[in-house]
Amino acid sequence: MRVLIVKTSSMGDVLHTLPALTDAMQAIPGIRFDWVVEEGFAQIPTWHPAVDKVLPVAIRRWRKNWFSAPIKAERKAFVQALRAEQYDAIIDAQGLIKSAALVTRKARGIKHGMDWSSAREPLASLFYNRRHSIAKQQHAVERTRELFAKSLNYKKPSSQGDYAISGHFLNTPNTDNARYAVFLHATTRDDKHWPESHWRELIGMMKDSGIQIKLPWGAPHEQERANRLAEGFSFVEVLPRMSLEEIARVLAGAEFVVSVDTGLSHLTAALDRPNVTLYGPTDPGLIGGYGQNQVVCSSKTEDLNDLNANDVIHSFSVLKKHTLD
């Protein structure tokens, strides 16, 4: 059985789809998947053992010059690749009009998605041949697992979902054998940033722990912040610019991670690494870290300025208890 997945973005949403593939792989012997995903996240599906082919799409970039000759040529090539296969089922896990109209409806096969009352954008449901009612008040991972189970006609497992990608990174060498943690300080929304003074206070508390701290970054302003956070601390390393796969390998070897609400925090969860995630204005209940040894450290005022380093240190004790249980 060959199935096409349409789940284009964002990083967290793409990662949250992986456990559904694991369910299907265990329920239906021999099932294989192709996956349409935004080009920036195209590495992620390749880590799952049930995925054969990734079809990168660039809707975000194409919209800037939709009618230019080069973009029209890219779009044409994408549609040709999309329609080259006749699928046994197509699952639109995005639930948005743009994914349904620009991708799902053009693929060949029976199209499945959430119904009018379940989809993120109800109009998207009009593009599906089979519409499924999916309970909203559950974590995004569980919603997607339920969608796959109903689309492919098997019973959704009651056990916690398995991303099944950590094995891809098992052989990553730790060249200096040093213990290290990763602090994920970068996120896209200003109100999800933890103040630099708080980060530096936490780093200072780690001085005598024997654990090195690694700071990744993706954009120049994030590199500047990382340099400021590391200043004066010999045990803190600002990493070079890395691909998503390279960052995943760093995360896979970490003793633990501290993160703000960002896509890389979800990647940490998918890799089964112990993680304390700092939440302020966002609710972790339905879209927070999903997986083993994931601890939420939330500001009671929804303002991350009010979450201090001692609060995070307290969360370490909770995390340690989780890892021992």
Residues in the chain: 325
Which of 238, 240, 175, 234 minimizes the C-alpha distance to 206?
234
Contact between 71 and 88 under an 8 Å Cβ cutoff? The reply is no
| Residue ranges of the chain whose pLDDT lies below 70 | 172-176, 321-325
Cβ within 8 Å of residue 183, ≥6 positions away: 199, 202, 203, 213, 214, 215, 229, 257, 258, 259
Every domain range in the chain assigned CATH 3.40.50.2000: 2-164, 167-324
Cβ within 8 Å of residue 325, ≥6 positions away: none
Tell me the sheet residues that pair with 86. 108
State residue 131 phi and psi, 5-degree precision.
-115, 135
Helices (H) and strands (E) in the chain, counts: 12, 12
**What is the predicted pLDDT for the residue at 323?**
61
Write out the two tokens for 144: 């997607």
Peptide bond into 10 cis (omega under 30): yes
SS3 74: helix
Tell me which long-range contacts 136-142 makes (C-beta under 8 A, separation of at least 24). Answer: 137/286, 138/286, 139/285, 139/286, 139/287, 139/288, 139/290, 140/13, 140/16, 140/286, 140/287, 140/290, 141/16, 141/19, 141/20, 141/290
The CATH number that domain 167-324 falls under is 3.40.50.2000
In the numeric block, the tokens 């492919």 are attached to 152
Contact between 88 and 205 under an 8 Å Cβ cutoff? The reply is no
Alpha helices in the chain (DSSP H): 11-27, 43-46, 59-62, 69-82, 97-102, 140-152, 196-205, 220-230, 244-252, 263-270, 284-287, 309-324
Class of domain 2-164: alpha beta
Q: Fill in the DSSP letter of residue 109.
A: S
CB atoms within 10 A of CB 43: 16
Strands 256-260 and 236-238: unpaired
**What is the predicted pLDDT for the residue at 171?**
72
Contact between 180 and 253 under an 8 Å Cβ cutoff? The reply is yes
